[in-house]
Structure 1
Amino acid sequence: MLQLCRLGLLLGLAVAAAAVLAARLMGWWGLRAGFRLFIPEELARYRGGPGDPGLYLALLGRVYDVSSGRRHYEPGAHYSGFAGRDASRAFVTGDYSEAGLVDDVSDLSFSELLTLQNWLSFYEKNYVSVGRVIGRFYGEDGLPTPELTQVDAMITKGLEANKQELKEKQKFPPCNSEWSSTKGSRFWCSSKSGGVSRDWIGVPRKLYKPGAKEPHCVCVRTTGPPSDQTPDSPTHRNRGDLDHPNLGEYPGCPPLAITCSFPR
């Protein structure tokens, strides 16, 4: 009897967990009350003209009521081409021709998709989402298509790459630089060079990135342990990141100079 009670309890917990998971999935992907599914021909009626039922646009298959921004999207306005359709591609390319006002984003780069994600955040914040378009990004059941899943995965990968780039920029901030036809080139470091505020200045070095054709100038810490070691590491040589294998000195520039000049 005790075992049966335990089995019943476990089954009850499993059912409850499944219900919670289902509720979460419906929250993420399901259509909430008031949401609609549009076919493209139906959405095309929502262009804000006389007699039109409203002023909507779609981005990555999500439909937004942009009536509050009518002056931007109504007929004759600068962005009127976005109304009544999913023109996701044009948000990135700026091609407002009929050939450019389309939803095909399959060949966009990571950075371009991140721009699209920023636009999506803008519409989520400033306008009301009213439904989805059946087609490239959502099926007849209102659930994401494989193409939308792939776009979301690429956006996630782009965000991770941005995070890694920011982390590297904190480690190796870009140098200040200038060039003139009379004086030649100059690279130098400061406590805010590269837009990275820090409590050290560093010295200019060439950073060689895998796959890059040319190195670029970065500022490198000269004291303390390397960035991949803890401050109390007993093995470091108090040279900061100077011994990093991807770094190189500028010929003719003193190793610890914060400014390197290269006359013409």
Structure 2
Amino acid sequence: MPRLGGRGLWLGLAAAAVAAMIARLTGWWSPRADFRLFIPEELARYRGRPGDPGLYLALLGRVYDVSSGRRHYEPGAPYSGFAGRDASRAFVTGDYSETGLVDDVSDLSFSEMLTLQNWLSFYEKNYEFIGRVSGRFYGQDGLPTPELTRTEAMIARGVQANKQDLEEKQRFPPCNAEWSSARGSRLWCSPKSGGVSRDWTGVPRKLFKPGAKEPHCVCVKTTGAPSDQTPDSPPHRNRGDLDHPSLAEYPGCPPLATSCSLPL
């Protein structure tokens, strides 16, 4: 990602983007007077077959007209199984069998929910919203069900988790790495390692994360104030993030070396 004037500005833009995303997400559930309410049996008639009234699909209970993408959804097309039903789960799992083309997303992870939200963004942008289908996500009155409220909360938490991952990647970008059978592993940092452009290089360190079985290599800033320093923090030691408690040095590597070799 291009530099936008420093970490503080980048995080401010990221926070604004997340806030806008959540606002848009919650807006999608708000009541609309012009939507059409389907029952599942009625929606099943919209599969793009000869004589069918149209080509629709549903995602999280929201119905979209995908006629403009007919080559993807019509009978015999790669995603024809999505037509005429709510197959929200398959958007994440890729299971296009009849048992997989269902709307149950109750056991998906936060990251999988975020993938689902990205698909929802895609359909909102590219296809016409037609209405809602009663069932798991909307009642017979067209209003959101508790299941939709729970799903919305999971998506919001997935968005927040993604924001935190992006913030951590800015603070601790991944190392570059290579391995050979003759020399073993080499880990090194550069101003663009991990796909994060910055005005510092850093040194390789192990980063231990709660719940992770193994640490992973990150580049750590070695000068200036810690990234999480606040105005009321004590004076810094000009060591950057080297003193972060979740970091550890690689054995045998000089503490301030930008490259570290780990022999076999």
TM-score (norm 1): 0.87
Structure 1 residues 195 and 97: CA distance shift in structure 2, 3 A: same
CA contact (8 A) 1:225 1:233 kept: no
CA contact (8 A) 1:205 1:248 kept: yes
Q: Report the counterpart of residue 166 of structure 2 in structure 1.
A: 166
Structure 1 letter corresponding to 2:65: D
Q: Deviations over 1:159-199 (max 9, x none)?
A: 10111111111111111111111110110000000111000
- Using the TM superposition, give the Cα deviation of residue 26 of structure 1 relative to its aligned residue in structure 2, in angstroms: 10
Q: 1:12-161 alignment to 2 at 5 Å?
A: 29-33=30-34, 35-161=35-161
Q: Report the counterpart of residue 257 of structure 2 in structure 1.
A: 257
Q: Deviations over 1:90-116 (max 9, x none)?
A: 111111111111111111111111111
**Higher radius of gyration, 1 or 2:** 1
- Using the TM superposition, give the Cα deviation of residue 31 of structure 1 relative to its aligned residue in structure 2, in angstroms: 3.1
Structure 2 letter corresponding to 1:180: S
SS in structure 1 at match of 2:63: strand
Q: Deviations over 1:105-133 (max 9, x none)?
A: 11111111111111111000000000000
Whole-angstrom distance in 1 between the partners of 2:116 and 2:173: 27
SS in structure 2 at match of 1:179: strand
Whole-angstrom distance in 1 between the partners of 2:208 and 2:40: 49
Q: Deviations over 1:13-71 (max 9, x none)?
A: xxxxxxxxxxxx999532332x2100000000011111111110000000001111111
Structure 2 letter corresponding to 1:235: P
CA contact (8 A) 1:175 1:188 kept: yes
CA contact (8 A) 2:91 2:116 kept: yes
Q: 1:180-191 alignment to 2 at 5 Å?
A: 180-191=180-191
Whole-angstrom distance in 2 between the partners of 1:149 and 1:37: 18
Structure 1 residues 87 and 27: CA distance shift in structure 2, 3 A: closer
CA contact (8 A) 2:29 2:144 kept: no
Q: Which runs of 5 or more structure 1 residues have no equivalent in the other structure? A: 1-24
Structure 1 residues 225 and 123: CA distance shift in structure 2, 3 A: same
Q: Deviations over 1:77-96 (max 9, x none)?
A: 11111110001111111111
Structure 1 residues 245 and 32: CA distance shift in structure 2, 3 A: same
Structure 1 residues 231 and 27: CA distance shift in structure 2, 3 A: closer
Structure 2 letter corresponding to 1:256: L
Q: Deviations over 1:142-164 (max 9, x none)?
A: 11100011011001001101111
Whole-angstrom distance in 2 between the partners of 1:232 and 1:211: 31
CA contact (8 A) 1:225 1:231 kept: no
Structure 1 residues 27 and 211: CA distance shift in structure 2, 3 A: closer
SS in structure 1 at match of 2:111: helix
Moved over 3 A (4+): 25-28, 230-234
Structure 2 letter corresponding to 1:87: A
CA contact (8 A) 1:224 1:231 kept: no
TM-align CA RMSD:
1.8
CA contact (8 A) 1:29 1:142 kept: no
Whole-angstrom distance in 2 between the partners of 1:178 and 1:156: 37
Aligned length: 239
Structure 1 residues 212 and 234: CA distance shift in structure 2, 3 A: closer
Structure 2 letter corresponding to 1:129: F
Identical-pair percentage:
82
Q: 1:210-229 alignment to 2 at 5 Å?
A: 210-229=210-229
Q: Which runs of 5 or more structure 2 residues have no equivalent in the other structure? A: 1-25
TM-score (norm 2): 0.87
- Using the TM superposition, give the Cα deviation of residue 211 of structure 1 relative to its aligned residue in structure 2, in angstroms: 2.1
